[in-house]
């Protein structure tokens, strides 16, 4: 499973990248706001830091304007994936931008039917938002499972990018279902390393080691 980091915070990306945990990065307008950085400048910096796809989102709502913005974002670096919303205009922009050889990430996906349309429009990635479905008492994981089955039924190569991951359980379940990629905030990726029995076991080992009076270095 590929891990994308869902942030525009370059310090956090660098920390995880040094551990080999970063196969790509996703950003969105809210994350750009949070970073306090200029979108073109920070996207260029991130794209130079990581080898994998870096999603940068258009903000126009009409297809021709999305395409123009997408071309500008794609020109930043060869590893940019242009992010477009799952609207009819976004699908038109996806078709054109992917036809020009760009990676396209279709975002704000909340149904399997939307994901089917994105695959037919040539999306490189489809981003179903798990957490936001859970927020309104729907089953975010079910959509990942449905899209996996539909894409496998017909051999679509669009990669399922499980997004809006809020918990370590979302990460676990996405991996079990077979999402190709998950994008998660740095805190969730770090939390995946935690287990109370690891902490308890380590404390016991340290206590016994102290009693030996030995040193390794
Ligand atoms: C994905 O590309 C989005 O940036 C992100 O996963 C949205 O997550 P949120 O619903 O926690 O804001």
The backbone region for 82, taken as left when phi is positive above 0, alpha when psi lies in -120 to 50, beta otherwise, is beta
- Kindly state the tokens that stand for 109: 């996906």
**pLDDT value, residue 136:** 98
Per-residue confidence band for 177, with pLDDT thresholds at 50, 70 and 90: very high
**Residue 94: predicted pLDDT:** 98
For the chain, the structural domain boundaries read: 2-212
* Residue 28 CB–ligand 1 contact under 6 Å: yes
Ligand 1: which atom is nearest the Cα of residue 4? 2
C-alpha 129 to ligand 1 mean position (Å): 7
Instruction: Check pocket membership of 183 for ligand 1, CB cut-off 6 A.
Output: yes
Are 185 and 6 in contact by the 8 Å Cβ rule? The answer is yes
Match 């279709």 to its residue by tokens.
106
pLDDT-derived band at 164 (thresholds 50, 70, 90) equals: very high
Instruction: Share the mean pLDDT of the chain.
Output: 98
Which one of 181, 183, 184, 186 would you pick to mutate in the ligand 1 pocket, going by the greatest count of ligand atoms within 8 A of its CB?
183
ipTM: 0.97
For the question of residue 120 being annotated catalytic, the response is no
Q: Report the nearest-CA residue for atom 5 of ligand 1.
A: 164
Percent of the chain at pLDDT > 70 equals 100
Token output for 120: 């037919």
Q: What is the pLDDT of residue 99?
A: 98
| Mutational pocket test of ligand 1: of 32, 103, 131, 136, the residue with most ligand atoms within 8 Å of the beta carbon | 131
The pLDDT value given to residue 217: 96
32-80 pLDDT, tens digit each: 999 999 999 999 999 999 999 999 999 999 999 999 999 999 999 999 9
For 60-106, the DSSP string reads -SSHHHHHHHHHHHHTT-TTEEEEEESSHHHHHHHHHHHHTT-EEEE
Residue 119: what pLDDT?
98
Give the H or E element holding residue 160: strand 159-162
pLDDT band at 183 (very low <50, low <70, confident <90, very high): very high
The pLDDT, as a whole number, for residue 68 is 98
What pLDDT, in 10s, does the model give residues 109-147? 999 999 999 999 999 999 999 999 999 999 999 999 999
| Ligand 1 mean position, distance from CA 125 (Å) | 14
Ligand 1 centroid to Cα of residue 162, in Å, is 9
Out of 2, 83, 120, 200, which one is annotated catalytic? 83
- The hierarchical CATH code for the domain 2-212 is 3.20.20.70
Would the pTM count as exceeding 0.90?
yes
Q: What pLDDT score was predicted for residue 76?
A: 98
> Of all atoms in ligand 1, which is nearest to the CA of residue 105?
2
Q: What is the pLDDT of residues 1-44, one digit of tens each?
A: 999 999 999 999 999 999 999 999 999 999 999 999 999 999 99
Strand partners, 161: 181
What proportion of the chain, given as a percentage, has pLDDT over 90?
Answer: 100
Residue of 3, 13, 28 to test ligand 1 pocket, by largest number of atoms within 8 Å of CB: 28
Q: Compute φ and ψ for 162, nearest 5 degrees.
A: -65, 120
Nearest alpha carbon to residue 37 among 13, 10, 73, 71? 10
Average pLDDT over residues 142-165: 98
Q: What distance in angstroms lies between residue 68's CA and the mean position of ligand 1's atoms?
A: 24
> In angstroms, what CA-CA distances link 147 with 7, 39, 98, 140, 153?
25, 31, 20, 11, 10
Answer left, alpha or beta for residue 215, where phi above 0 means left and psi between -120 and 50 means alpha.
Answer: beta
- Ligand 1 centroid–CA 208 distance in Å is 44
């Amino acid at each position: 499973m590929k891990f994308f980091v869902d942030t525009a915070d370059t310090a956090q990306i660098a920390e995880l990248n040094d551990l080999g945990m970063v196969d790509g990065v996703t950003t969105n307008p809210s994350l750009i706001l949070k970073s306090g950085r200029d979108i073109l400048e920070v996207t260029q910096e991130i794209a130079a830091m990581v080898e994998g796809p870096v999603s940068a989102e258009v903000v126009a709502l009409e297809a021709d304007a999305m395409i123009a913005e997408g071309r500008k974002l794609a020109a930043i670096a060869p590893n940019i994936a242009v992010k477009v919303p799952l609207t009819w205009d976004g699908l038109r922009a996806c078709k054109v931008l992917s036809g020009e050889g760009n990676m396209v990430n279709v975002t704000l996906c909340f149904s399997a039917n939307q994901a089917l349309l994105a695959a037919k429009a040539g999306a490189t990635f489809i981003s179903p938002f798990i957490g936001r479905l859970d927020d309104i008492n729907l089953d975010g994981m079910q959509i990942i499972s449905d899209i996996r089955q539909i894409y496998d039924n017909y051999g679509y190569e669009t990669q399922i990018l499980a997004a809006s991951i809020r918990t370590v359980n979302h990460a676990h379940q996405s991996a079990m279902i077979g999402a190709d990629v998950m994008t998660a905030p740095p805190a969730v990726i770090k939390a995946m390393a935690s287990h109370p029995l690891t902490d308890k076991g380590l404390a016991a080992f340290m206590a016994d080691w102290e009693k030996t009076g030995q040193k390794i270095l």
